[in-house]
Amino acid sequence: MSVLISCETGGDRVLIPEPWNDDPQWRQLGDSVASGDAHAWYAAASLSRLLHVPLLSSPHSPDWIDVSVSQHHRRLFSPQSKRLPAAARQRLIDLAFVPYRQQVAQRIESMLRTGRPCIHLSIRTFESRLGDQIRRGDVGLGYDTGQPAEVHFCLDWIDDLYESMPNVRVRRNYPRRGSNDSLTKAMRAKYASRGYLGIEVQLNRAWVARPVKIRDEVLAGLAESLEYMLQSLPSEAA
């Protein structure tokens, strides 16, 4: 079985297409945009290195254009980038959104051509508190409950994580469902029938945003558990 790691939210690039990039008002607008999710990128890069599998990462800040959602999603553009002219926003789609989606699709296509299933792990993080609500979970696995292969894989992975890292709270489809608008949902629509599994790995910033020893230990445990899972699969699926 092939594994692909991706990170759609870790970039920090703010792209202002020509000719608008010469206009001071748009440059100033771009300067006001926050950087991307460095914690998600760190986790994705760590898992890619530990598992010796490819990593694809969007270089563009999700606070400018969010390539993890569909073109028609209300969150595709941030409040700042929504102020750009319509033609400039379309250029952002052409220059940032479309190429990244194509890159991911091409890599999945290449993996599936080998005749082996492809597990795509899209790495995200989430805030430990949403308003007055404390999010009680360390790791969330987002999958489509209508896809039996994804269900079985995630349930088995959760079981193994419970045995190998009992202090790490792993939850199903938390804090968001894997069937929500996302990159994995788009790829699932194209490739599920050919053996594609799209899993969102959602990590709580309460621990993944802290540069302490426990962060790397948990990431190493996730990688070790996944490696064990893959080695345990029947030979025809591995």
- The residue ranges of DSSP E strands in 23-93, in sequence order, are 55-57
Task: Centre a 10 Å sphere on the Cβ of residue 105 and count the other Cβ atoms it contains.
Answer: 15
User: What was the pLDDT predicted at 34?
Assistant: 84
User: What was the pLDDT predicted at 38?
Assistant: 95
Cis previous bond, 19, omega within 30: yes
User: Which residues neighbour 115 within 8 Å (Cβ) at sequence distance 6 or greater?
Assistant: none
User: Which residues neighbour 179 within 8 Å (Cβ) at sequence distance 6 or greater?
Assistant: 143, 144, 145, 146, 173, 185
Task: Centre a 10 Å sphere on the Cβ of residue 87 and count the other Cβ atoms it contains.
Answer: 9
C-alpha distances in Å from residue 34, one per residue of 6, 180, 191: 21, 25, 34
User: What was the pLDDT predicted at 234?
Assistant: 60
Residue type, 108: I
pLDDT by residue, tens only, the chain of 238 residues: 899 999 999 999 999 999 999 999 998 999 999 889 999 999 999 999 999 999 999 999 999 999 999 999 999 999 999 999 999 999 999 999 999 999 999 999 999 999 999 999 999 999 987 777 788 899 999 999 999 999 999 999 999 999 999 999 999 999 999 999 999 999 999 999 999 999 999 999 999 999 989 999 999 999 999 999 888 776 544 4
Cis previous bond, 175, omega within 30: yes
User: What was the pLDDT predicted at 230?
Assistant: 87
User: What was the pLDDT predicted at 51?
Assistant: 97
Q: What does the buried/exposed string (b/e) look like for 180-203 if buried means 16 or more CB atoms within 10 Å of the residue's CB? A: eebbbbbbbeebbeebbbbbbbbb
Tokens found for residue 105:
């699709």
Assign domain 2-232 one CATH number from 3.40.630.40, 2.60.40.10, 1.10.340.30, 3.30.70.1880: 3.40.630.40
Residue type, 226: L
Start-to-end CA distance of the chain, whole Å, equals: 4
pTM of the model: 0.94
CA neighbours within 13 Å on the CB side: how many for 143? 25
- Residue ranges per structural domain of the chain: 2-232
